Structure 1
Amino acid sequence: MSTKPGSTHIRHLRDLARYRFKLTCMITGEKNRAQNCLTVSNLKLDDVFSDVFGKSSRSITEYMLAHPGEIFDVAPFVDSRCKTPMEEIQAAVDGAISPEQANKLRQCLNHIDESEKHLEEIEREILRLSDKYQAALDLIRTVPGFDKNPMTAIQILSEIGGDMSVFPSAKHLVSWAGCCPRNDQSNKRIKSTRISRAGNYIKPILVQVANGLLRSKKHPEITGRYKRIKSHRGHKKAIIAICRMLLTAIWHILSDLKPYTAEGFLESRPVNKAKVLTTSQALNLLKQRGYTIKDDIVPAMN
């Protein structure tokens, strides 16, 4: 079975993965609307619960909708594993929801429940279709950030396919995904270095994975590259650089059919003899990148 992006099977998988992406965005939008209903009603559940739509918070919300204006004890609705003091939770529900906001909140919650059930059905179908590409998915999951959620690897595979022969090099894949600067210059004058608008579905996934990897200490090749670029280019360009790094790794492992290793990124780069700096120039460059220059401390002789 061909795994090129244009094949019928991978195209069907890509359509379902994109539909799942849009459905997830729609659920997030409905949750924001429901959260707004609680906020304007002075119900601060987001201050005491990490997930406003979790089991404990949802039970409290349902009781308030069924018994509007009633003062009640929240203890029976809170899970025993909740670490927030009961007094703070009780104070968080010290508000009143109007009939209009209650009706809007009920509609949002019903829509969320229906959408999540539909999302589960879509994910089951996606997992069924992705069985044919298990070998390629296993390789992608060796890349940092793609091993936790199986849907993340499937979304990447559905967009790029499993056959890297359609991309002559990793740079072609990066350009196709819209993770490289545009070539926008005229008469040696560079007009813009912004990334292109390509990759509307693959780029958000890569950015999400890259941001998650910054909190991990298991992959110094990624955090080190991010810190080097951020020091003089800023957070956004550093994140896009990590996205290029991840895509390059995916292209190589699918081309060579070998799992991800960090050795290639941790190898020392050869010295470019064409770039020569004086001592003062080198010190100024280090200062611009955020380094503090100190004199060597000579240990005292006894």
Structure 2
Amino acid sequence: MVARVCAIDIGKAGLVACVRVPHASRPDRRVQEVREYATVTPALLALADWLRVERVELVAMEATSDYWKPVFYLLEAEGFECWLLNAKHVKNVPGRPKTDRLDAVWLAKVVERGMCRPSLVHPKPIRRLRDVTRYRRSLVREQTREKQRLEKTLQDAQIKLDSVISDLHGVSGRQMLQAMIAGQRDPKVLAELAHTTMRRKIPQLRQALAGHFDDHHAFICATMLRRIDALAADIAQLDNRIEEMIAPFAAAVAKLDEITGVGIRAAQEIIAEIGVDMTVFPTAAHLASRAKFAPIDARSAGKKKGNSTGKGNPWLAGTLGEVVAAIARTNTFLGERYRRLTRRRGKKRAIVAVGNSVLTIIWHLLSDPNARHHDLGSGYHESRINTQRRQRDLIRQLEQLTGQKVDLQPRPELPAAA
């Protein structure tokens, strides 16, 4: 299938490369050579020179942790066609000796005979955008954890402020925290720092602020607030950076923003994870399958086995989970679909099913430049149900409830008014 191929078994500090090419005098024979290189840049450039001498057409490597990235990116920049392979798809045959050299040889044989297919590796702009969006989400999670630690510290001091104020880090909550850290302990004085509509809760605030907050708690809370503010500043910088990097894909972001529950931030994260080129996914089902938001049918001996969708991209799954949570509160087609599935199958299955629908919509919007999102409405399901079937189901339910036979009669005509 591939005449000149190189397969690489990658480690953290070194790699083993196997090159297989046709024999110089015997066309029915193959010649292979195995070499070892370090993973530092000069050694990788030497590897690229060797592959040029051998006129290698394809370079394949397993996705080993993050160690494959510098090798893949450097060889890609040097002009080689690179394949990233899933280790599960090219597992060595059981019973064979397993060494780095034998793994490289086995991988070369698998690739040259067309027994595997490459994994998706996004182009450089999408990869860089993904790095920034993932780091932003990590900082948001860390900021949330820090806020939770602050709430626990207040609970330790018998300060029940978060039971009265919905946003502890709003204007009123932050001023009260700063005043307590500065040394103010009087609940009446602290409650008067409430702003606007929060002043209606001054009696409740006085009770919530009557605790035993002392200098020990003040020191810990001050440290936590500084860390929260520092994370907020870093997140704001990342937001600006994402706005710059997402500019070439502004049209795609605007189209995804049309979907119910998908905001600008969610659209940016989705594009960073799946890209904008939908030709790599032949159908919408391929996209849902890659994200592990597709059902898996597992049957054996005529019985259906319980099975999960598998472990997919956790970053994409987190964004889709937030999108579905927003959809669930809307009076739309997808919102009604979520509620119907929740009643029958539970919340977890409903999240996966609605997430699958969202990915299907995304695929069509990004595949067709002229496509636009149009909500079918929350009454779409009811309008599609056959009237006679619905009538039959209601009669059956009434008969089971009463234990009697139900017979429908036409409604008598009312006498005409005089």
| TM-score bin, normalised by smaller chain | 0.7 to 0.9
**What is the aligned partner in structure 2 of residue 232 from structure 1?**
344
* 1:97-136 equivalence runs, <5 A: 97-136=213-252
- Structure 1 CA distance, aligned partners of 2:344 and 2:306? 18
1:58 CA drift (Å)? 1.0
1:74 CA drift (Å)? 2.5
**What is the aligned partner in structure 2 of residue 30 from structure 1?**
146
- Structure 1 CA distance, aligned partners of 2:133 and 2:395? 49
* Aligned 8 A contact 1:182 1:192 in 2: no
In the superposition, relative to structure 1, how do residues 95 and 163 fare at CA in structure 2: closer, same or farther (>3 Å)? same
* 1:135-150 equivalence runs, <5 A: 135-147=251-263, 150=264
Match of 1:56 among 128, 152, 172: 172
* Aligned 8 A contact 1:48 1:84 in 2: no
Q: After alignment, is 229-238 or 160-169 more displaced?
A: 229-238
List alignment gaps of at least 5 residues for structure 2: 1-119, 401-405
**What is the aligned partner in structure 2 of residue 17 from structure 1?**
133
SS of residue matched to 2:178: helix
Question: 2:325 matched to 1:191?
Answer: no
1:33 CA drift (Å)? 0.4
* CA deviation string 1:70-128 (max 9, x = no partner): 55513542112425421111111001124443332222111111111011111110110
Residue-pair matches, total: 287
Match of 1:163 among 277, 284, 287: 277
Q: After alignment, is 237-246 or 24-33 more displaced?
A: 237-246
The TM-score, its normalising length taken from structure 2, stands at: 0.62
1:223 CA drift (Å)? 2.3
**What is the aligned partner in structure 2 of residue 40 from structure 1?**
156
The TM-score, its normalising length taken from structure 1, stands at: 0.83
List alignment gaps of at least 5 residues for structure 1: 288-292
* Aligned 8 A contact 1:46 1:52 in 2: yes
Q: After alignment, is 124-133 or 65-74 more displaced?
A: 65-74
Opposite residue 304 of structure 2, the aligned amino acid is I
SS of residue matched to 1:179: coil
In the superposition, relative to structure 1, how do residues 171 and 214 fare at CA in structure 2: closer, same or farther (>3 Å)? same
In the superposition, relative to structure 1, how do residues 7 and 198 fare at CA in structure 2: closer, same or farther (>3 Å)? same
**What is the aligned partner in structure 2 of residue 290 from structure 1?**
none
Q: After alignment, is 89-98 or 13-22 more displaced?
A: 89-98
* CA deviation string 1:270-289 (max 9, x = no partner): 99xxxx99x579936xx9xx
In the superposition, relative to structure 1, how do residues 281 and 300 fare at CA in structure 2: closer, same or farther (>3 Å)? closer
* Aligned 8 A contact 1:30 1:112 in 2: yes
1:216 CA drift (Å)? 1.8
**What is the aligned partner in structure 1 of residue 374 from structure 2?**
261
Opposite residue 260 of structure 1, the aligned amino acid is H
- Structure 2 CA distance, aligned partners of 1:160 and 1:99? 50
In the superposition, relative to structure 1, how do residues 252 and 224 fare at CA in structure 2: closer, same or farther (>3 Å)? same
1:52 CA drift (Å)? 0.5
Q: Percent identical across equivalent pairs?
A: 28
**What is the aligned partner in structure 2 of residue 203 from structure 1?**
317
In the superposition, relative to structure 1, how do residues 263 and 87 fare at CA in structure 2: closer, same or farther (>3 Å)? closer
- Structure 2 CA distance, aligned partners of 1:6 and 1:296? 65
1:67 CA drift (Å)? 0.5
1:55 CA drift (Å)? 1.3
- Structure 1 CA distance, aligned partners of 2:208 and 2:176? 11
Q: After alignment, is 233-242 or 125-134 more displaced?
A: 233-242
In the superposition, relative to structure 1, how do residues 183 and 71 fare at CA in structure 2: closer, same or farther (>3 Å)? same
* Aligned 8 A contact 2:191 2:209 in 1: no
* CA deviation string 1:122-181 (max 9, x = no partner): 11101100001011111111111124xx21110001001001111111111111112123
* Aligned 8 A contact 1:174 1:247 in 2: yes
1:66 CA drift (Å)? 1.4
In the superposition, relative to structure 1, how do residues 46 and 264 fare at CA in structure 2: closer, same or farther (>3 Å)? closer
* CA deviation string 1:9-30 (max 9, x = no partner): 1100001101111111100100
1:238 CA drift (Å)? 1.3
Opposite residue 311 of structure 2, the aligned amino acid is R
* Aligned 8 A contact 2:187 2:207 in 1: no
* Aligned 8 A contact 1:184 1:191 in 2: yes
**What is the aligned partner in structure 1 of residue 79 from structure 2?**
none
Higher relative contact order (CA 8 A, sep 6+): 1
* Aligned 8 A contact 1:164 1:254 in 2: yes
SS of residue matched to 1:11: helix
Structure whose residues are more often helix by fraction: 1
